[in-house]
Amino acid sequence: MSYLNITEVESAVTSLATAHPGTSRLITLPEPSIEGRTAHALQIGAAAPIPKSCVMIIGGVHAREWGSCEILVHLAADLLEAFEAGTGLGYGGTSFTAAQVRGLLERLDLVVFPLVNPDGRLHSQTVDPMWRKNRNAAYSGGSSNPACTGVDINRNYDFLFDFGTAFAPTATPQVSADPCDPQVYEGPGPFSEPETRNVRWLLDQFPRTRWFVDVHSYSQDMLYNWGDDENQSADPDMNFRNAHYDGTRGLPGDDYAEYIPKDDADTALHLAEAFCQGVHGVRGITYTPLSGFHLYPTSGTSDDYVYSRHFTDPDQGKVLGFTVEWGVKSFHPPWAEMERIVLDVDAGLVQFCLATT
């Protein structure tokens, strides 16, 4: 076996829905990609008399990070098959009982969206292995430079999108307003891309989503909010919505730090640590829980957007946002190692879900 191509990812998702009609539902995302491809997600969970809280997990956002799709396809298959068979799950030294699997799917709904960026993945797997963005050429200005095609989907969400105003002049957020930036072009405006609009649509369709995980590569970290600056829980007025602090964000050790209620900060750390514990039990690999800012400062990312929604719109439910960064040194490790990484991360994700009680 090797990495899945985009047709195989979609086939796996639809086949799981067909094979497990009592515990899964195929979701067709409303917007086709720039090249006309339709994406699908899976809702996984046992039938319940009342609505359940939801964990949403997405992957395949950055095109070159091939293994994220496989991680999520295998996670969905493992949970569905174990629930139906009444068995537990074993991932090396990390294991889960049949009762834990049953309880997880009875208590929660999981929405698993393995391939957010099909056009980019196809281009990465057939043309340019290091391609990161989607394939939207609308903002290239007619340039023949291949780098001028595409938007970094994970900079296209509505969180501090105007980074030039929000961040300190000497800060270095990993984002660009240049359409010809080969890596982190944010797009002309938040949600300019069908891929990010599909994720927003999923969040709107599942208003009981309480936890969100975006699976990426690499650095062996489990990131949690916030990504624009260091966290603080003392001054609620010091926050991303307060224009008084424009021009000061993004620097470590200065006077600005992003507000997060202490309960949320404690819960986020607890869940990130649970994920890392699950990973470590498989074969002793150590992942590090840390805020997104401590990887590097960012804006327009999925995890910060989902958490910011309830601050900007009180009608939205609170969603804690996380980003997995799996693996080291390669976006597409040899398949034998990727198979081991799949086990690591899936064990971490199951442990994460169990810790949401």
CATH code, domain with 133 = 3.40.630.10
* Tally of domains in the chain: 1
Confidence at residue 142, expressed as pLDDT on a 0 to 100 scale: 81
Say if residue 1's pLDDT is above 80. Answer: no
Estimate to the nearest angstrom the gap between the alpha carbon of 192 and the chain centroid: 18
Identify which of 253, 252, 250, 228 has the alpha carbon closest to the alpha carbon of residue 171: 250
Identify which of 68, 112, 334 has the alpha carbon closest to the alpha carbon of residue 217: 68
Give the whole-number percent of the chain exceeding pLDDT 70: 100
Identify which of 67, 89, 65, 86 has the alpha carbon closest to the alpha carbon of residue 78: 89
Residue 128: inside a domain = yes
Confidence at residue 260, expressed as pLDDT on a 0 to 100 scale: 98
- Decide if 157 contacts 304 (C-beta within 8 A): yes
Residue 1: inside a domain = no
Say if residue 65's pLDDT is above 90. Answer: yes
Average pLDDT over residues 30-53: 96
Banded pLDDT at 141 (limits 50, 70, 90):
confident
Residue 164: inside a domain = yes
Identify which of 59, 23, 133 has the alpha carbon closest to the alpha carbon of residue 325: 59
Residue 101: inside a domain = yes
- Decide if 304 contacts 298 (C-beta within 8 A): yes
Identify which of 60, 53, 2 has the alpha carbon closest to the alpha carbon of residue 335: 2
- Distance separating alpha carbons of residues 45 and 105, to the nearest angstrom: 5
Instruction: Using CB atoms within 10 Å of the CB of residue 172, give its burial: 0 to 12 exposed, 13 to 18 middle, 19+ buried.
Output: exposed
Say if residue 35's pLDDT is above 80. Answer: yes
- Decide if 227 contacts 304 (C-beta within 8 A): yes
State the Cα angle at 98 between 100 and 21, rounded to 5°.
95
pLDDT tens-digit readout, 293-341: 999 999 999 999 999 999 999 999 999 999 999 998 889 999 999 999 9
Q: Where are the alpha helices (DSSP H) in 86-117?
A: 98-107
Tracing tokens 């969970």 back to the chain, one arrives at 45
Instruction: Using CB atoms within 10 Å of the CB of residue 18, give its burial: 0 to 12 exposed, 13 to 18 middle, 19+ buried.
Output: exposed
pLDDT tens-digit readout, 74-119: 999 999 999 999 999 999 999 999 999 999 999 999 999 999 999 9
Average pLDDT over residues 25-34: 98
Residue 59: inside a domain = yes
pLDDT tens-digit readout, 153-199: 999 999 999 999 999 999 999 999 999 999 999 999 999 999 999 99
Residue 81: inside a domain = yes
Q: Round the average pLDDT of the chain to a whole number and report it.
A: 97
- Distance separating alpha carbons of residues 308 and 274, to the nearest angstrom: 23
Instruction: Using CB atoms within 10 Å of the CB of residue 243, give its burial: 0 to 12 exposed, 13 to 18 middle, 19+ buried.
Output: exposed
221, 321, 323 from 226: Cα distances, Å: 14, 9, 11
Say if residue 143's pLDDT is above 90. Answer: no
Q: Domain range holding 336?
A: 6-354
Confidence at residue 144, expressed as pLDDT on a 0 to 100 scale: 85
- Decide if 154 contacts 61 (C-beta within 8 A): yes
Listing DSSP states for 115-168 in one string gives: -S-HHHHHHHHHT-TT--S----TTSTT---GGGS---GGG-SSSS--HHHHB-
- Distance separating alpha carbons of residues 271 and 291, to the nearest angstrom: 12
